[in-house]
Amino acid sequence: MKTIDDLEVSGRRVLVRADFNVPLDGIRITDDGKIRASLPTLSALLDRGAAVVICSHLGRPAGTPDPAFSLAPVAARLGELLGRPVVLTTDTVGPSARNMVAATPPGGVVMLENLRFNPGETSKDDAVRGAFADELASLADVYVGDGFGAVHRRHASVCDVPARLPHAAGYLVQAETAALEKLTGNIRRPYVVVLGGAKVADKLPVVGGLLGVADQILIGGGMAFTFLAAQGHGVGLSLLDGDVDAARGYLGRAGRSGVELVIAPDVAVAAGRDAAAPSGVVPSTAIPADRMALDIGPGSARLFAGRIAAGATVFWNGPMGVFEIPEFAAGTRAVAQALADSSGFTVVGGGDTAAAVRTLGFRDAEFGHVSTGGGASLEYLEGKVLPGLAALQAR
């Protein structure tokens, strides 16, 4: 891929596809890591005299404007971090966008309102998506793809606009792919993968892709219950998501391939997610029918930490429990601390995992790489062709 260093941007309008899909509590941003990660690219373009037009999605509005998903909090926070105004349009490609972009001088920044307010962004109809891409492309002279968290989506701003403008990858996409290549190419071993989190159906296929690559796969968080069910164990009221039959197949393949697949041996349980609910620790194979598991147990934490310490390469995606509740954050904290203490190359796999480590007080610099794209990083490790990267690679 070309990078922004290969582009002539002085005096030109540069459309930057960022990933500002940040977690919000009302209008308060609870983790601005994705915004901070975009600063090297945006600062470089501004320093070189570009007029920067930023576009991003936020949440999943149904193709129509929804104030709950406005990028207004993001524009305000980005302006603070850049130390210059960031003007937010009131539409994506309508009169507000066209007029504000036209009025933006070199060194200025304008942000288009949420791309997903327009149904053309995510349409599966090539013609509809292409028409929206035409309108986006008309706003700029050059395109920069820097939203790694969206490169696995076949969306207009990700895949169709690069075909219409001179294009290059931003520094964030460049850094993400360089880090993930270390997990797929000349891997330093032992290679330890830690998987957890709640979006099990989305994450489960990555286990199949890693069975021929990783040396050990440690399963905790919500994913553990799908594998426990595949072994015939009850999981009480715990989250049960994903294809149990697929998990059973992965267990069999792991045994045949020599990859060690380790399911958290104990869990912290409670009657509900209420932080005040009585809790205790039980073996993972003996979760009471009237309890839900909300964290890995101390035995699991010690086991996982030891395996991580012995790894030369470690990839982690998915918290070990409901880390937002202090009573159920111990497992996630233990895994984060083990990665931070590791002498190997460590990657925190974006999304909820990145938010978790920051919430628990860890700095990005304590890890080898903190990804901004959970789903994108997983699909990259599966070996899938990511359409957004393919679009940037096309000449």
Show the low-confidence residues of the chain (pLDDT under 50): none
pLDDT score recorded for residue 275: 73
* Predicted confidence (pLDDT) per residue in 255-309, tens digit: 888 899 999 999 999 999 887 787 899 999 999 999 999 999 999 999 999 999 9
Amino acid of residue 349 = G
Provide the 10 A C-beta neighbour count for residue 125: 10
List the structure tokens of 209: 């892709």
pLDDT score recorded for residue 177: 94
pLDDT score recorded for residue 357: 95
List the structure tokens of 333: 């904290």
Residue-level length of the chain: 395
Distance CA 351, CA 244 (A): 24
Distance CA 88, CA 53 (A): 10
Task: Specify whether the CB–CB gap between 244 and 226 falls below 8 A.
Answer: yes
Give Cα separations from 292 to 7, 236, 245, 288 (angstroms): 54, 6, 22, 8
Distance CA 279, CA 124 (A): 46
3-state helix, strand, coil in the chain (%, to 5): 45, 15, 40
pLDDT score recorded for residue 105: 97
